[in-house]
Structures are given as structure tokens and as C-alpha cells.
């Protein structure tokens, strides 16, 4: 009997937890009384009391005198934002390479809860529309296997992209658009055009690890400027670096930095473009997450403040509708011809079918309607994640409030090693990204990044609960 009781109370607790996590029970809702739950779940009153005490202990519900039990308002508000790091560094260090290889392998595993990737769940994609359009394209282009769309790429797709990019606050000439194999291809080509080995590139700290790897691969050096969670790129940092270092180019993510999810204000964007333009430093803008804003309007591109024509805006369909298509773009009034040339000699062209399908997709309308749905799903997911982190992670944890995108940046208690957590979590089949891969200096040892692009499920909640337990254990040592 005594060995059965915990299982019964856990079952009751899970029932309530699931209703909360699915949104059936919301903050301040009254949960069923002990007696009515005892009748519904067919367990004793004392089992229900045990379950409710457990839920109270983990902060999910609260007892109100003479009134019953209520869903507690999330304590997410009390979770502070992670702190920025004001460090300087020169080159990516190799310690992260081995960790990054493990990260990449983990992304290919099917038996892992994928909190490690940075993508919108493919279940949200307009799959049916894209597949129908693909059939249509195959019908209209029976000889497509022999069609090659040389750089700058399909004219109609470039026109559609130019049209959409005007939403970033500045019109785009379609002849300035070059189709690339995703955002990373667009950034790498731009770096190849702008820099020579040994040159220094200005990046944010933290920043996307793929960018740091590309920079290392091109034998470039980096200098880092802080990205402040909740605020974005530190303009003062840019000013002071610009005074002291000779910079060949900057690669910046003002719209929802990966991993912090921060949005840089228009005022700061204007200043950044002004400071760097004065020194004739081109800016490669990684705007891959620009369409995935949680707020009401699409954020401005750095191009809106670019009078000198020094901004190259890069983006792709990877985070919005089709990760597998490997199609992106680089847009630049000044460097488009050189980027197209570099594309041709490095990989000739981009896939034909995908370009044709995307041109039809954008032209046929419905993308904005689709985006509205995805953005509200992502914003809700991100909130659910923060609430779960507030619930399950120990004191001393901090979580960034992303303003858009698909990831959350979490600072763990000082003595918790994010890389050790990454390995331990992987052994428990939970994928996360360790903080050290997000800076050239392998900084952010007690940080992790988790994806919030997947629809919220109890599996995700259990994974976060497990992570929270691992962190709590590690924090004790
Ligand atoms: C900030 C950022 N830039 C670029 C990429 C790579 O984009 P793509 O798949 O379009 O090459 C990613 C993917 O995670 C990213 O997060």
C-alpha cells in the first residue's frame, strides 16, 4: 500500500500539471476541490492532499484561506535577465570545436528531445502549399534537371524578396538581391568579398556559433561587442572598439540575436550604422529572424539607416518556411555583383526547383497570414518555456526575454558548468546548446541556449523539469 501511494499522488499531480501546461487551467483559476478531485480521479482524499502539497511545493498552485487551491501566477516575472559579458578576444579558440562536433551530431539524433536546434517546428510550416507548388513546378518544368539558375538567381524570386524586404524600412532594388544557399552562405560570401586572411571582424558576444566557425575557417580575427539581453547591441561598445581596432567588417544581428533573442532599438541601429559608416566599415546584417517578431510590427533593417550603401542584409527561408530548401539571399547596393561572382566560383548556383517554388509561394499570397500564426505560436511557446524554467530551475537562474526568434538564453547559477550539463542532459536524451560555443573566447561557461520553436507538450515540460533537476544537483557541488 505504502509503495503505491506515491504513484497515485503523482498521477493526480500530473493531471493538474498537464491541464496547466496545456492552458486548460490558467493563472488564478481555481483547481478542483480536494473532494471533487478525489471523486474524479478515484483516489483517497489524502492522496489528493499529497498531490496538491507537492504541486504547492514546486510552485504551480497555492492554497488561499477558506477558498481552495488556485493556479499560481507564474513567477517568470521574477526571473532576472542574464548579464552581458564585457570581454575582448581575438580568435575563436579550438576548445569549442570538439564540443561543436558533439552539438552537430546531437542535432542528427532522433532519440533526443530537440531543445538544441534553432528552428521553427516543421509541423508549423505551410507544407501542403509548398508541396502542391512543387508538383505544379514539376509539371511546368519537365526538363528542370537540366535547368541551372546562375547567380544572382531567379529573377522572379529576387523581385519577391525585394518586395518583402521593403517592410524592413527601405526599398530594395531586385537587381541588388543575390540568391544564396541560406543565410550562412550569404554571410560567408560577403566575408570573402570584404575581408582578407588576418583581418578583424566585429561580432556580438554572445553570437551564433556557426558565424564564429566561418570566421575561423576564413582565417579572420574577431573583436566582440556585448549584446545585452533585453536591449541588444551595445552602441558604446561599438564606439570604443571603432576607436581602437581596425575593422574590415561587422556581422550583426540587431533583430533577435541568436542566442539572446534581443531586439536592438531603432535609435541604436541608426547610431551603429553612423559610427561604422564614418569609418567606412561594411556591416553584414544577419536578419534571419526579422520576420519572427513577437511584437506587432516587423523590426527595421539596418538598411533603413544606410546612406553610404555599406549594409549587406542577409536572410533565408530556413527559420520561417523551409529549412531543408537551403535558399537565402544577400542584398547590397554596393557589393551584389562581387557576391554573385563569389557565389559562382564557390558553388556555381542554388537549386532550381526550390527557387521556382519559393517565387510562386511568395507571389501567391498568404505568407503574412501564415507568419501571424507562427509568430503567435512562438511567442506563446517562449512564455511557456520561461514559466517552466522559473518553476523547475534553482535560484540563481536567469532567463532572457526574447523579443522574437526561436531560442532562449539562460544563465545558470555561477558554479554550474553548461558544457557538463550539455553532456549529462544528452545522456538523458535531452539536447541543449552549451554557452561556450557562443563566444570566440569560449566564455559563458554557466550559460545554455534552449530552443522554444517546438509546440509546447508535456514531453517538453518533462525535459525542462529534468534539466532543472540536473542543474539543481550540479548547483549543490
Ligand atoms: C543567427 C543565425 N544565422 C544564420 C543561421 C544559418 O542560417 P541558414 O540555415 O539560412 O544558413 C542560423 C541558424 O541557426 C542562425 O541562427
pLDDT at 90: 53
Helix, strand, or coil (residue 246): coil
Given phi > 0 = left and psi -120 to 50 = alpha, else beta, which region is 396? left
Percent of the chain with pLDDT over 90: 78
- What pLDDT sits at residue 89? 56
Arithmetic mean of pLDDT, 186-208: 96
Lookup: cell for 327: 535558399
- What's the mean per-residue pLDDT of the chain? 92
Question: Which residues, at least 6 apart from 158, have a Cβ–Cβ distance to it below 8 Å?
Answer: 152, 174, 175, 177, 178, 179, 329
Q: What pLDDT is stored for residue 177 in this prediction?
A: 98
Q: How far is CA 282 from CA 5, 237, 353, in A?
A: 66, 17, 33
Confidence at residue 2, expressed as pLDDT on a 0 to 100 scale:
38
| 324-349 average pLDDT score | 98
HSE at residue 99, side-chain half, CA atoms within 13 A, is: 26
For the chain, helix, strand, coil in percent to 5 are 50, 15, 40
363: number of Cβ within 10 Å? 14
d(CA 393, CA 471) in angstroms, rounded, equals 7
Q: Would the CB of 182 count as within 6 Å of ligand 1?
A: yes
Residue 64: other Cβ atoms inside 10 A: 11
Total length of the chain: 477
Q: Residue 371 Cα, ligand 1 centroid: separation in angstroms?
A: 18
Give pLDDT tens digits for 261-277: 999 999 999 999 999 99
Strand pairing category for 200-205 and 249-252: parallel
Residue 303 confidence (pLDDT) above 80:
yes
| CATH placement of domain 5-73 | 1.10.10.10
391 vs 285, more confident:
285
Q: What are phi and psi of 417, to 5 degrees?
A: -90, 115
| Residue 125 CB less than 6 A away from ligand 1 | no
**Are residues 131 and 267 in contact, defined by beta-carbon separation less than 8 angstroms?**
no
- Evaluate: CB of 183 within 6 angstroms of ligand 1: yes
Query: Tell me: the pLDDT tens digits for 118-128?
Result: 999 999 999 99
pLDDT for residue 369: 94
What's the pTM? Answer: 0.85
- Grid coordinates in use for 134? 512543387
Q: How far is the CA of 210 from the centre of ligand 1 (A)?
A: 7
Pair 439, 259: CB distance under 8 Å: no
Residue 363 DSSP one-character state? H
5-19, 191-205, 350-364, 366-380, range with the lowest pLDDT: 5-19
CA of 189 to the centre of ligand 1 (A): 14
404 lines ligand 1 (CB under 6 A): no
Ligand 1 centroid – CA 288 distance (Å) = 7
In this predicted structure, what is the pLDDT of residue 396?
A: 87
Please report, for residues 193, 245, 329, 347, the alpha-carbon distance to residue 341 in angstroms, rounded to integers and kept in the order given.
Answer: 9, 30, 14, 10
In CATH terms, the fold of domain 144-367 is 3.40.640
Provide the pLDDT for residue 92: 46
232, 258, 405, 452: residue to mutate for ligand 1 pocket, most atoms within 8 A of CB: 258
Q: How confident is the model at residue 476 (pLDDT cuts 50, 70, 90)?
A: confident
Closest CA to 104 of 115, 113, 117, 94: 117
The arithmetic mean of pLDDT across residues 432-453, rounded, is 93
Separation between Cα atoms, residue 314 and residue 291, nearest integer Å:
13
Q: How far is the CA of 354 from the centre of ligand 1 (A)?
A: 18
Question: Does ligand 1 lie within 6 Å of residue 305's CB atom?
Answer: no
d(CA 423, CA 433): 10
Q: Which of 6-15, 133-142, 224-233, 236-245 has the lowest mean pLDDT?
A: 6-15
The pLDDT of residue 66: 86
DSSP code per residue over 23-70 = TSS-TTPBPPPHHHHHHHHT--HHHHHHHHHHHHHTTSEEEETTTEEE
The whole-number pLDDT of residue 76 equals 65
Residue 254: CB within 6 Å of ligand 1?
no
How confident is residue 297, by pLDDT bands cut at 50, 70 and 90?
A: confident
100-114: average pLDDT: 90
Evaluate: CB of 71 within 6 angstroms of ligand 1. no
Q: Is the CB of residue 288 below 6 angstroms from any atom belonging to ligand 1?
A: yes
Pocket test for ligand 1, best of 210, 211, 315 (most atoms within 8 A of CB): 210
* Parallel/antiparallel/unpaired status of strands 328-331 and 447-451: unpaired
Domain ranges of the chain: 5-73, 144-367
Using the predicted structure, report yes or no on whether residue 450 has a pLDDT greater than 80: yes
Tens-digit pLDDT profile for residues 217-231: 999 999 999 999 999
Residues of the chain above pLDDT 70, percent? 94
The CA distances from residue 350 to 217, 245, 325, in Å, are 22, 36, 10
* Residues in contact with 79: Cβ distance below 8 Å, sequence separation at least 6, in sequence order: 386, 389, 390, 397, 398, 399
The yes-or-no verdict on residue 427 having pLDDT over 50 is yes
214 lines ligand 1 (CB under 6 A): no
For residue range 51-96, list pLDDT tens digits in order.
998 888 766 788 988 889 998 865 666 788 998 887 655 554 555 6
**Ligand 1 lined by 431 (C-beta under 6 Å):** no
Q: Tell me the range of 1-10, 100-109, 312-321 where mean pLDDT is highest.
A: 312-321
Q: Of the residues 180, 263, 288, 378, which should be mutated to test ligand 1's pocket, given the most ligand atoms within 8 Å of the CB?
A: 288
Amino acid at each position: 500500500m505504502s509503495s503505491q501511494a506515491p504513484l497515485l499522488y503523482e498521477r493526480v499531480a500530473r493531471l493538474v500539471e498537464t491541464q496547466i501546461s496545456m492552458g486548460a487551467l490558467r493563472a488564478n483559476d481555481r483547481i478542483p476541490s480536494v473532494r471533487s478531485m478525489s471523486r474524479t480521479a478515484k483516489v483517497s482524499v489524502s492522496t489528493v492532499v499529497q498531490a496538491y502539497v507537492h504541486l504547492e511545493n514546486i510552485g504551480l498552485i497555492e492554497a488561499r484561506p477558506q477558498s481552495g487551491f488556485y493556479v499560481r501566477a507564474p513567477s517568470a516575472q521574477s526571473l532576472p535577465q542574464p548579464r552581458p559579458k564585457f570581454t575582448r578576444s581575438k580568435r575563436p579558440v579550438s576548445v569549442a570545436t570538439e564540443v561543436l562536433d558533439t552539438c552537430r551530431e546531437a542535432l542528427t539524433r532522433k532519440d533526443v528531445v530537440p531543445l538544441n536546434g534553432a528552428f521553427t517546428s516543421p509541423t508549423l510550416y505551410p507544407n501542403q502549399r509548398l508541396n502542391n507548388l512543387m508538383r505544379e513546378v514539376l509539371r511546368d518544368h519537365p526538363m528542370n534537371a537540366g535547368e541551372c539558375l546562375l547567380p544572382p538567381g531567379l529573377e522572379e524570386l529576387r523581385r519577391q524578396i525585394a518586395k518583402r524586404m521593403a517592410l524592413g524600412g527601405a526599398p530594395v532594388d531586385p537587381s541588388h538581391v543575390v540568391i544564396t544557399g541560406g543565410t550562412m552562405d550569404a554571410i560567408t560570401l560577403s566575408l570573402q568579398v570584404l575581408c582578407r586572411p588576418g583581418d578583424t571582424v566585429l561580432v556580438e558576444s554572445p553570437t551564433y556559433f556557426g558565424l564564429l566557425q566561418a570566421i575561423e575557417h576564413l582565417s579572420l580575427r574577431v573583436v566582440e561587442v556585448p549584446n545585452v539581453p533585453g536591449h541588444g547591441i551595445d552602441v558604446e561598445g561599438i564606439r570604443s572598439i571603432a576607436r581602437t581596432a581596425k575593422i574590415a567588417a561587422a556581422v550583426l544581428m540587431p533583430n533577435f540575436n541568436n542566442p539572446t533573442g534581443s531586439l536592438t532599438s531603432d535609435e541604436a541601429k541608426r547610431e551603429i550604422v553612423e559610427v561604422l559608416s564614418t569609418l567606412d566599415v561594411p556591416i553584414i546584417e544577419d536578419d534571419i529572424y526579422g520576420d519572427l517578431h513577437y511584437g506587432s510590427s516587423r523590426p527595421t533593417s539596418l538598411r533603413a539607416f544606410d546612406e553610404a550603401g555599406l549594409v549587406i542584409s542577409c536572410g533565408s527561408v530556413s527559420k520561417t518556411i523551409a529549412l531543408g530548401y537551403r535558399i537565402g539571399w544577400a542584398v547590397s547596393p554596393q557589393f551584389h555583383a562581387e557576391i554573385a561572382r563569389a557565389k559562382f566560383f564557390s558553388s556555381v548556383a542554388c537549386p532550381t526547383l526550390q527557387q521556382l517554388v519559393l517565387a510562386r509561394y511568395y507571389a501567391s499570397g498568404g505568407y503574412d497570414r501564415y507568419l501571424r500564426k507562427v509568430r503567435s505560436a512562438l511567442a506563446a511557446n517562449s512564455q511557456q518555456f520561461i514559466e517552466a524554467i522559473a518553476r523547475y530551475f534553482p535560484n540563481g537562474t536567469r532567463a532572457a526575454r526574447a523579443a522574437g526568434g526561436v531560442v532562449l538564453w539562460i544563465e545558470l547559477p555561477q558554479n554550474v558548468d553548461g558544457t557538463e550539463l550539455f553532456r549529462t542532459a544528452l545522456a538523458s536524451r535531452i539536447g541543449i546548446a552549451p554557452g561556450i560555443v557562443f563566444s570566440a573566447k569560449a566564455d559563458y561557461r554557466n550559460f545554455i541556449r534552449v530552443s522554444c520553436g517546438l509546440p509546447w507538450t508535456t514531453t517538453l515540460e518533462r525535459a525542462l523539469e529534468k534539466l532543472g533537476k540536473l542543474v539543481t544537483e550540479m548547483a549543490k557541488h
